[in-house]
A = this chain, B = another copy of it.
Amino acid sequence: MELISLVGLMAAFCTTASFIPQAVKTIRTKQTNGLSLGMYLILTMGLSLWLTYGIFIKDLPIILANSITLAFSIIILVLIMKYR
């Protein structure tokens, strides 16, 4: 694999995985007062649009990365609305 493809894969891995520690922290602590409801509303909408885009252009990396991030984004969004 070329080095730059590896950089792209690592980039996608990091931006997708970054939401895991936030979801884990929020599930554990139930502390949502510092989290922005607006951020997770817009993010969830954006990720749903990315998923739609990926399905339409049949791009597996876009579909995979955004499905996973969307799942975490929805979890965090639901927790913000539950514990606010």
Q: Which residues of A contact B (CB under 8 A)?
A: 4, 7-8, 10-22, 24-26, 29, 31-40, 42-43, 45-47, 49-50, 52-53, 56-57
Shortest Cβ gap from A26 to chain B (Å): 7
The smallest beta-carbon distance between A30 and chain B, in angstroms, is: 9
Is the beta-carbon distance between A49 and B4 smaller than 8 angstroms? no
> What is the predominant secondary structure among interface residues of chain A facing chain B?
helix
Copies of the polypeptide in the assembly: 2
Q: Do A43 and B14 contact each other (CB < 8 Å), given the known contacts A7-B53, A49-B7?
A: yes
Q: Are B10 and A49 in touch, CB under 8 angstroms? A: yes
Please provide the 4 A-B residue pairs with the shortest distance between their CB atoms, ordered closest to farther: A14-B46, A21-B38, A34-B34, A11-B49
